[in-house]
Structure 1
């Protein structure tokens, strides 16, 4: 285990003083709110498919295995472009990348509502993944640029609750739109909302002028990216990201169908109950994160101590393994809401841990891209593997057991490995550092 005393990290350019001089201490909350909305829209668009899957599956005659492949299809391009798109983000800034990314995935949603066969639909999902690739890099960059170090964990957790609000809103709105119209109208309306956000972001957000200008920043080499994996702290953070992402994509893709399978309820009832789970999880995540931060940092403010928050939250999320023990609505919803709430809090703490431990804040976009590339390469298998499990066993039990065990292991590794600052060394610097 690394020493907590090894983590005295520099604050980028006396951030608090710089922001005050620029008069941005108030407007930064507008930026945070827009990032929150971006997560809401992103996950609302992802939820659109999960709630539409029963009708879409019938229209295109899909088996459970095929549904799993369709659910994972946006991840095919998403994980491949996480790193390149966030490297571009570090070069040109969050304003341009954010506007273009959301516009592109919103266009993909519009096209998805107009397809005539499953092959065309898969192409629109791949395009959706291209647009969504830099999403979390944009969020991490905004938090690193505009949030004070002491508040990054809380800010990140609150922003990430936008994912759950998006899943809740997208699920319940999608269920009603499908009931009143059809799944195609659902996709078109959600696409229009994304275009509106892109316009507002372009008009409102401004890249900070802290440190180097965007145009003068050096490109980040793949040698630097490779050297990330020599950091035990980065490896510990990455393991957590991979594990929580797997469960996140599993639930996002299969939760409505799981509730239909287990509770035998209709599409509107499924949408309502799924939305309640997401909303309860979002509220719970904020409360859990605040309580754990106050306890963990009470006697020692060392940034690396945030790993204990990550470990505790993952232990809570592992209760998802209790689901096979229940077959009625109330306990199922309670277990899912509690596990999701802990998962969101773990994600927020782990993301804040990455921003805290990274020495060069100008590279946060690229480093976030690396973590997303790795975690999404694993996460894309979650819908597929679950589809095969359901097809072979007729139940979801093994999927929940696998996730539960993996979350416990990831929490232990986070506590054991995270401690020293994360450095990205260039060619030549490796020798000087004795690597």
Structure 2
């Protein structure tokens, strides 16, 4: 019996539907998280003018929350495994939402950067919380679909944050946008504390201990973990590139205003979100039609990554319709790949109580690459005057990651206290 099945089995039958409430709240957490991230990308053109920022400086500002996010992914998820998702979820969302409120009150770019660093501190355990909830409350056969649906919250958050932000900026200014989104996050943190319960809450302090350094080091001896990590790194790079630069890219290519950019960016995210759910469901049905065998999920990952690599076609189009189609298709495949890859990780990890920490390890590594995406793209645009090289690099990396997933991901992932 898996950890997820065990957790559900220990509850009485009438409480089982509550897990869908937990999934919905995690979905909303992703919506809020990425809505807050989108707030900066759509506000960046206005902020760039107010603070006289160059493309290179905009790239650094876009990546600023990732500095602390990257450093705290692993420590925060180790604590998550020790104390559970209820406390960490509430503290994390409450802290980053407070940072959003502060961001709307700053008077210079230095103060703004400090609020972004604080936001990164709060967001650090976010995906660990989501992975923990899925591992504890979703059945093995549904984890891929559940995770893909939850991850569409990222795209819906980006869509809602972008279009709402565009109109809020036009009507009230970018500071009001930040403060409004901060209030929404604080409300979620209160609801999560009141509603969510850890499945092993009564015995958590008695049987959970921090993961040791040798155990973490032993992960890198697993070919399956390395294959999953390669996918996480490449998809994260493209994710942060698009999240940070898509509004400015559309302005650059299509010469449209802030509200027009926000509407079209939101459209791409919405189409991608629904497309990802359909793609994930179809591929899971095909791959698992003869029974559940978790390593087969790598074929879903690889196929979706190949679809996401169509981002490399963007330099060949300069009108609205084909650009929006390529962006939507690529993002839909990217989300589906991310959902399948995350489900693959939760399937193959033998000790489900350590899924938060293992997710933290993957995020620490992938975000070390992801934080370079806004910065490197800023330099590419500054020196070449276009985004072409950025798209070509992403396409090549995604194809390589697809191959690594097929070749490496085969066996369970174990953590050994001896480090190997």
Q: Which of 22, 32, 35 matches 2:26? A: 35
Query: Is the 1:102–1:194 contact (alpha carbons within 8 Å) kept by the matching residues of 2?
Result: yes
Pick aligned residue for 2:370 from 361, 373, 379: 379
Which shifted more, 40-49 or 12-21?
12-21
1:333-344 alignment to 2 at 5 Å?
A: 333-344=324-335
* Alignment partner, residue 133 of structure 1: 124
Q: How does 1:391-410 map to 2 (within 5 A)?
A: 391-410=382-401
The offset of 1:19, in angstroms, is 4.8
Contact 1:19 1:25 in 2 (8 A): no
- Pairwise CA RMSD of aligned residues? 1.3
Does 1:145 pair with 2:136?
A: yes
Please tell me whether the aligned partners of residues 231 and 401 of structure 2 are also in contact (alpha carbons under 8 angstroms). Answer: yes
Q: CA deviation at 1:25?
A: 1.4
Shift of 1:188: 0.3
CA contact (8 A) 1:18 1:210 kept: no
Task: Indicate the residue corresponding to 1:323 in structure 2.
Answer: 314
Moved more, 357-366 or 20-29: 20-29
In the alignment, which residue of structure 1 is the partner of 2:74? Answer: 83
CA contact (8 A) 2:100 2:115 kept: yes
Provide the residue aligned with 2:351 in structure 1: 360
Superposition map of 1:39-78 within 5 A: 39-78=30-69
8 Å Cα contact 2:127-2:359 kept in structure 1: yes
Note closer, same or farther for the CA distance 1:266–1:204 as it changes in structure 2 (3 Å cut). Answer: same
- Between 1:215-224 and 1:191-200, the stretch displaced more is 215-224
TM superposition shift of 1:22: 6.0
Quote the residue 1:255 is aligned against: 246
Q: Secondary structure at the match of 2:106?
A: coil
| Alignment match of 2:83 (pick from 73, 92, 102) | 92
Give 2:182's match in structure 1, choosing from 182, 191, 199. 191
Distance in 1, matches of 2:13 and 2:402, equals: 40
Residue 387 of structure 1 aligns to a residue whose secondary structure is helix
Question: How does the TM-score come out when normalised to structure 1?
Answer: 0.95
What secondary structure does 1:364 align onto? helix
Residue 163 (structure 1) aligns with: 154
Q: Does 1:301 align with 2:292?
A: yes
Which residue in the other structure is 2:403 paired with? 412
Specify whether residues 397 and 17 from structure 1 end up closer, same or farther in structure 2 by C-alpha distance, changes over 3 A only: closer
1:98-132: CA deviation from partner (whole Å, max 9, x where unpaired): 00000100010000001011100000000000000
Q: Is the 8 A contact 2:315 2:388 kept in 1?
A: yes
* Structure 2 residue matching 1:98: 3-state secondary structure: helix
Cα deviation, residue 210, structure 1: 8.1
Distance, in Å, in 1 between the alignment partners of 2:115 and 2:47 is 14
- Structure 2 residue ranges without an equivalent (≥5): none
CA distance in 1, matches of 2:181, 2:20: 25
Query: Post-superposition shift, 1:218?
Result: 1.9
Residue-by-residue CA offset, 1:163-187 (whole Å, 9 max, x unaligned): 0000000000000000001000000
Structure 1 distance, partners of 2:349, 2:375, is 33
Could you tell me how far apart the structure 1 residues matched to 2:411 and 2:12 are? 32
Distance 1:24 1:423 in 2: 32
Corresponding residue of 2:341: 350
- Whether the 8 Å CA contact 1:13–1:211 is kept in 2: the answer is no
Contact 1:176-1:268 within 8 A present in 2 as well: yes
Cα 1:112/1:298, change in 2 over 3 Å? same
1:63-107 CA distance string (max 9 Å, x none): 000000000000000010000000000000000000000010001
CA separation of 1:271 and 1:70: change in aligned 2, threshold 3 A:
same
**Residues 1:12 and 2:23 aligned together:** no
- CA–CA distance in 1 between the matches of 2:398 and 2:335? 13
Bigger Cα displacement from structure 2, 84-93 vs 23-32: 23-32
Q: Secondary structure at the match of 1:115?
A: coil
Q: Following the alignment from structure 1 to structure 2, what is the Cα–Cα distance between the partners of residues 269 and 261?
A: 13
Where 1:206 maps in the other structure, the secondary structure is coil
Would the aligned equivalents of 1:64 and 1:387 in 2 still touch at CA under 8 Å? yes
Q: Secondary structure at the match of 1:337?
A: helix
Instruction: Please list the CA deviations of residues 251-280 of structure 1 after superposition, one character each: whole Å capped at 9, or x if unmatched.
Output: 000000000000000000000000000000
Alpha-carbon distance change, 110 to 355 in structure 1, aligned in 2, over 3 angstroms: same
- In the TM superposition, structure 1's runs of 4+ consecutive aligned residues that sit over 4 Å from their partners are none
What is the count of residue pairs matched by the alignment? 420
Give the TM-score, by structure 2 length: 0.98
How far apart, CA to CA, are the structure 1 residues paired with 2:357 and 2:347?
15
